[in-house]
Amino acid sequence: MLSKEHGIAEYDFGARLIIPDRLTRHAHAHYLKYARQVIHLYANGRGKTRRELHTAVQEIFSDEPDCPVRRIAAFCKLLDENANYDTDRRGAAAALRRKVFGIAGKFHPLVEQPDNLFESSEMLVKQKISDALGMPWEQIDQRLFGDVIEFQRLREFQEPESPALLLARYNVAQLQVVLYDAIDMTIRVKNDLKLIVRQAKLTQLMHRIRPYGDGYEIHLDGPASVLRQTRRYGIAMAKFLPSLLSCRDWKMRARVQARGGNWIVDLHLTSTDGFRGQVESRDFDSSVEEQFAKNWGPEPREGWTLHREATILHRGQKTFIPDFSLRHLDGREVLFEIVGFWTPEYLTAKAATLETFTEHDILLAVADVNVARFPMFQRAPIGYKKSLSVASVLRALNETTGNKL
């Protein structure tokens, strides 16, 4: 993804819209040529520094009149995401510099051509340093500033599937930058509800669902409405976007705080706008859920089997998709929701939603710090700290209170 400094967007303040930068087939067909060149540059750039590669990318775009500096920097950022650079995590570069400068300092100043005034030849001193350290100067030179990002050297590069894919990634990345300042997002969907909600959970976005027409409306809180960890939450919302783009039959409106904070503008998107997305491959939105499902396993436990997001509940303007459904061999079913660490407002809304479905047998597992926020429905909530044990869930399931025969 891109950082805020790579974002390019226009504002239509009359219509209160934000329009992110987009490369189109009609106006920017010639960008395929540039995409091929920069991919080739990185694919053959092993051993070059990050600065050298970025400078070369700038040179490729130097004669293009329709290419602002931020767009070039954005391409460098996207290419770097496919690259692995040598890094120096143990301070080897700093230690090497101390040795090199300690030896070279005795001969200061160094000159290319020595004379009667300046006697120390740069070439000869480099040779002395090589002899003292037992390695060729070329190797010393490559390692000397390995702790400086600009001078890290490319180790390997994973080429995009095609130049067109790089341009498509650029377009989506510009949309993602806009969402760093989103107040909220509203999605109206007719298909793929479970998939969209799954991705919202995977990225740990606070969301509410309600029926709307012949489909559903999903409301997501944005980073500009979150009091803490706004940067982390903004990245989460940006990560959610490619999954949404891969789904069908939806319309989205995001309210965005314009730069400076004095205006609120809208970003509008639909599933037919031609952006290319990709579904996140993970199955669980938290390590607690993932570890619990792994510990439970596919086989029945005391007659109970665990199913992932198998049920959608509706009532009035409330919709609820529990994390799991637990089904017994005798026909009983208990819906199971794991509640983590969210804002007080979101937890209050979650409790209100659950109260709408009291005719269903719902079991909650709630982080200890939030247990008091949830009333006892058919069953008392199960508290947990860092992990949720299978044994505690089985104890709750086998209690007579709330079991429906």
Domain containing 385 equals 287-397
Same domain, 213 and 305: no
What global pTM score does this model have? Answer: 0.75
Same domain, 331 and 372: yes
What per-residue confidence (pLDDT) applies to 401? 41
106, part of any domain: yes
Same domain, 208 and 266: yes
Give residue-wise pLDDT tens across range 109-140. Answer: 888 877 777 778 888 888 989 999 999 988 88
Total number of domains in the chain: 3
75, part of any domain: no
SS3 of the chain: CCCHHHCCEEEECCCCEEEECCCCCCCCCCHHHHHHHHHHHHHCCCCCEHHHHHHHHHHHCCCCCCCCHHHHHHHHHHHHHCEEECCCCCCHHHHHHHHHHHHHHHHCCEECCCCCCCCEEHHHHHHHHHHHHCCCHHHHHHHCCCCCHHHCEEEEECCCCCHHHHHHHHHHHHHHHHHCCEEEEEEEECCCHHHHHHHHHHCCCCEEEEEECCEEEEEEECHHHCCCCHHHHHHHHHHHHHHHHCCCCEEEEEEEECCCCCCEEEEEEECCCCCCCCCCCCCCCCHHHHHHHHHHCCCCECCEEEEECCCCEEECCEEECCCEEEEECCCCEEEEEEECCCCHHHHHHHHHHHHCCCCCCEEEEEEHHHHHHCCCCCCCCEEECCCCCHHHHHHHHCCCCCCCC
Same domain, 332 and 364: yes
What per-residue confidence (pLDDT) applies to 184? 94
Same domain, 295 and 387: yes
Mean pLDDT per 10-residue interval, the chain, length 405 residues: 94 94 95 97 96 97 94 97 88 87 87 78 88 90 84 93 95 96 94 86 84 91 76 90 93 90 90 86 72 91 86 79 89 86 71 81 83 70 86 84 43
99, part of any domain: yes
Same domain, 234 and 300: no
